[in-house]
């Protein structure tokens, strides 16, 4: 392909021209209007995430999105749409919201309590007065996404109370962020009723959750213990590093022949080691105390679950009318009904007419007696007549009849 082929670059230029050009009225082409608007909304959100900055101005956006020395002239319209949809807000208006009020309460306060001021501002906007490309806006879309992530993380890890420093580490993953962004995020969560702030003993504690209640004394104490434990861990790590560096210096001094200096440096190492041991003992005590607090909390939750289970069991027994007397009475009634049923079945199995067999027995006996003589009379035996003269032959009687055998044979 020829090196002079510039179609991809040309298409990119055309695309930039379309995206950077001013918006036409939405009535002419709603689909293209919304598609272009969604593109810029996503780009502004990406910019806020990348810079970890929740505020912007029209001038800043135009400068950040300049491509090929072209600045998007549609940004003012995009910002207006963000304001209309609630994805952005003037910084001054955001800071005026009372955190004790919800968004709905703020709207009521703005439109009902101060309708004159609001109407005057809208009139100026309609006449193109008061529009300033340097006005600062807050990306509510960015704060909403970031706040949702930190709330989910706190609930997933069951860590609801923390110092502001730990909140920053958890929300921004140990990255450097402007203090303004942190304050705006905390304020947004407070307006959303997902954050409470407590300042005590020079410390600022935050309570994060989808539904937060007032701080309890145990939560504050526990947060203080956790903060002290982390501070001790950091101190011990620093001292360990200092001790190791000190030992390296001892070896170097011995190698250089400075035995006296090495001895003094070694003495310093021993002092550091003792100090580290004391800090480690304190850390062990804190860990033990925190562990016991966790155990007590767990035992308390288990006891609470037992009580709830007992209450549910009692309610079920009460609703089901289950008691010892009721069960005994029910079982006795079942036995009585069962016996009654057996009696009924026995009665139903009786014959409908009485069964008198005596007459039948007599009749059978008479029939049997009358049949016997008739049978004896009917039997005839065919026997030979008695001989008168002596027999000349021997007779042998077998089961086949008479057999005559000659005499003398």
178-209 per-position pLDDT tens digit: 889 999 999 999 999 999 988 877 788 888 88
Q: What is the pLDDT along the chain (409 residues), one digit of tens a residue?
A: 334 333 344 566 778 788 888 888 888 888 888 999 999 999 999 999 998 899 999 999 999 998 888 889 899 999 999 999 999 999 999 999 888 765 555 444 444 444 444 454 554 454 444 456 789 999 999 999 999 988 888 888 777 888 888 888 877 775 778 889 999 999 999 999 999 988 877 788 888 888 888 888 777 788 888 888 888 999 999 999 999 999 999 999 899 888 899 999 999 999 999 999 999 999 999 888 888 887 887 888 888 888 888 888 888 877 766 777 777 888 888 998 898 988 888 888 777 666 666 777 777 777 888 766 554 555 555 666 666 666 555 455 454 454 555 544 4
Question: Distances in Å between the alpha carbon of 123 and those of 117, 126, 247?
Answer: 10, 5, 74
Cα 364 from Cα 389, distance rounded (Å): 53
Q: Are strands 137-139 and 55-56 parallel, antiparallel or unpaired?
A: antiparallel
Distance CA 90, CA 80 (A): 11
What pLDDT is stored for residue 211 in this prediction?
84
Please name the residue that has the structure tokens 């010892």. Answer: 324
> Under a CB-based contact definition with an 8 Å cutoff, are residues 289 and 283 in contact?
no
Tokens 């079920």 label which residue?
316
CA distance 163 to 208: 11
**Which DSSP state fits 74?**
T
> Are the CB atoms for 266 and 250 separated by under 8 Å?
yes
Strand order in the sheet with 88-90: 55-56, 137-139, 88-90
Q: How many H-runs (helices) and E-runs (strands) does the chain carry?
A: 14, 8
> How many CB atoms lie under 10 A from the CB of residue 20?
19
What's the predicted TM-score (pTM) here? 0.58
CA distances to 86, 89, 116, 138, 384 from 109, rounded to whole Å, are 17, 16, 12, 20, 149
């Amino acid at each position: 392909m020829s090196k002079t082929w510039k179609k991809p670059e040309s298409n990119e230029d055309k695309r930039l021209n379309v995206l950077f050009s001013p918006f036409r009225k939405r009535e002419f082409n709603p689909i293209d209007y919304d598609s272009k608007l969604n593109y810029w909304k996503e780009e502004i959100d990406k910019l806020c995430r990348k810079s970890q900055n929740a505020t912007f101005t029209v001038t800043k956006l135009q400068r950040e999105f300049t491509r090929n020395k072209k600045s998007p002239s549609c940004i003012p319209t995009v910002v207006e749409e963000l304001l209309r949809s609630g994805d952005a807000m003037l910084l001054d208006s955001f800071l005026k919201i009372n955190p004790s009020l919800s968004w709905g309460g703020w709207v009521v306060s703005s439109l009902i309590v101060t309708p004159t001021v609001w109407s005057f501002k809208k009139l100026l906007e309609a006449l193109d007065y008061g529009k300033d490309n340097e006005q600062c806006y807050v990306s509510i879309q960015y704060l909403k996404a970031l706040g949702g992530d930190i709330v989910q993380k706190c609930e997933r890890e069951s860590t609801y109370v923390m110092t502001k420093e730990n909140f920053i580490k958890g929300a921004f993953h140990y990255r450097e962020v402007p203090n303004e962004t942190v304050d705006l995020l905390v304020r947004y969560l407070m307006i959303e009723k997902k954050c409470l702030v407590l300042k005590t003993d020079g410390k600022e504690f935050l309570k994060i959750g989808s539904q937060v209640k007032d701080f309890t004394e145990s939560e504050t104490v526990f947060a203080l213990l956790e903060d002290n434990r982390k501070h001790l861990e950091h101190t011990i790590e620093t001292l360990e590093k200092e001790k190791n560096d000190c030992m390296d210096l001892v070896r170097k001094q011995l190698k250089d022949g400075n035995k006296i200096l090495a001895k003094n440096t070694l003495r310093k190492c021993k002092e550091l080691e003792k100090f580290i041991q004391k800090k480690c003992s304190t850390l062990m005590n804190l860990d033990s105390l925190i562990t016991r607090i966790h155990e007590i909390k767990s035992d308390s939750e288990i006891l609470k679950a037992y009580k709830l289970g007992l209450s549910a069991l009692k309610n079920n027994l009460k609703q089901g009318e289950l008691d010892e007397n009721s069960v005994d009475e029910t079982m006795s009634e079942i036995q009585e009904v069962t016996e009654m049923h057996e009696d009924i079945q026995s009665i139903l199995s009786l014959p409908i007419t009485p069964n008198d067999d005596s007459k039948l027995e007599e009749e059978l006996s008479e029939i049997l007696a009358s049949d016997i003589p008739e049978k004896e009379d009917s039997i005839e035996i065919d026997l030979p007549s008695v001989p008168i003269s002596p027999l000349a032959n021997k007779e042998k009687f077998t089961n086949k009849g008479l057999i005559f055998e000659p005499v003398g044979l």
